[in-house]
């Protein structure tokens, strides 16, 4: 994937969150559909050429963390789960391999969905429902889910050069409409702190748990480069 200036479009671990309190939204190419279309067109070609599926955002441990947490809950394996901005679909394939059977992934980038379909076929995971859709404009057949997962998509939308605050507000409303009452939302972010995420999702959601992520130390302070939280829809 094209170098976005740092590994995951995030500042490195020794610096602050990408958004400082005075300058919340710094537009970036990572906030545009063109960027993702271009990136996944190249990843799709690379997949067809060499079988390389491309970037795992936040690394393997970001998937393990959530799969381990889900396994500890009393969640039926056929619970309806939506991966918002599924990218190459890697996470859904791992969830299917861990036994989940009712998995949907959406992405507004057509080549991402094509890549996810091709990768799932290669891995012989034939049960995924993958579709091109924009979470900011959910359409009626995007039915209600028991679990929604976001790994890097809220971050990408935050970087939109075009009215990000409005888009983040739309995101929260859309999430609320696609999640069932009492449903779970698991978000992994590198651009937002725990407090910022709690504040953003305060309306309509309650924070249930913070999942442990690697910590760094800098200037005598300890912080996390990645935040992983579980919310419950109210």
Ligand X SMILES: C[S@@+](CC[C@H](N)C(=O)[O-])C[C@H]1O[C@@H](n2cnc3c(N)ncnc32)[C@H](O)[C@@H]1O
Binding site for ligand X (CB under 6 A): 36, 57, 85-87, 90-91, 106-109, 112, 134-136, 151-153, 156-157
- Least distance (Å) from ligand X to the CB of residue 115? 9
Q: Is 103 helix (H, G, I), strand (E, B) or coil?
A: strand
Q: Give min distance, CB of 1 to ligand X, in A.
A: 9
For ligand X, which is the closer residue by CB, 157 or 175? 157
| Separation between Cα atoms, residue 225 and residue 103, nearest integer Å | 28
- Contact (Cβ atoms closer than 8 angstroms) between residue 105 and residue 125: no
The nearer residue to ligand X, 55 or 196, going by C-beta atoms, is 55
Nearest to ligand X of 52, 74 (CB atom): 52
CB of 57 to ligand X, least distance (A): 4
Minimum Å gap between C-beta 152 and ligand X is: 3
Cα 151 from Cα 84, distance rounded (Å): 8
140's tokens: 């009626």
Shortest distance, CB of residue 22 to ligand X, whole angstroms?
A: 25
Nearer to ligand X (CB atom), residue 103 or residue 106: 106
Return the residue matching tokens 């859309």: 174
Q: Which is nearer to ligand X, 96 or 112 (CB)?
A: 112
* In contact, 31 and 160? CB cutoff 8 Å: yes
Greatest alpha-carbon pair distance for the chain in Å reads 50
How far is the C-alpha of 22 from the C-alpha of 45, rounded, in Å? 40
């Amino acid at each position: 994937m094209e170098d976005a200036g740092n590994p995951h479009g995030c500042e490195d671990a020794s610096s602050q969150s990408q958004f400082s309190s005075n300058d919340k939204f710094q537009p970036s190419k990572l906030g545009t559909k063109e960027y993702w279309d271009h990136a996944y067109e190249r990843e799709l070609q690379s997949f067809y050429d060499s079988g390389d599926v491309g970037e795992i955002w936040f690394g393997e441990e970001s998937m393990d963390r959530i799969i381990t947490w889900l396994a500890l809950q009393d969640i039926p394996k056929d619970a309806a789960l939506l991966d918002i901005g599924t990218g190459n679909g890697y996470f859904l394939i791992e969830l299917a391999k861990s036994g989940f059977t009712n998995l949907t992934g959406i992405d507004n980038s057509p080549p991402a969905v094509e890549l996810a379909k091709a990768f799932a076929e290669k891995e012989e995971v034939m049960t995924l429902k993958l579709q091109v859709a924009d979470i900011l404009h959910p359409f009626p057949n995007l039915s209600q889910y028991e679990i929604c997962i976001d790994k890097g998509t809220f971050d990408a939308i935050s970087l939109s050069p075009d009215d990000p605050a409005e888009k983040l507000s739309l995101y929260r409303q859309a999430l609320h409409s696609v999640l069932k009452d009492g449903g779970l939302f698991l978000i992994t972010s590198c651009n937002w702190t725990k407090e910022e995420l709690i504040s953003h999702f305060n309306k309509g959601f309650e924070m249930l748990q913070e999942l442990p992520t690697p910590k760094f130390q800098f200037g005598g302070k300890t912080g996390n480069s990645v935040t992983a939280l579980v919310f419950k829809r109210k």
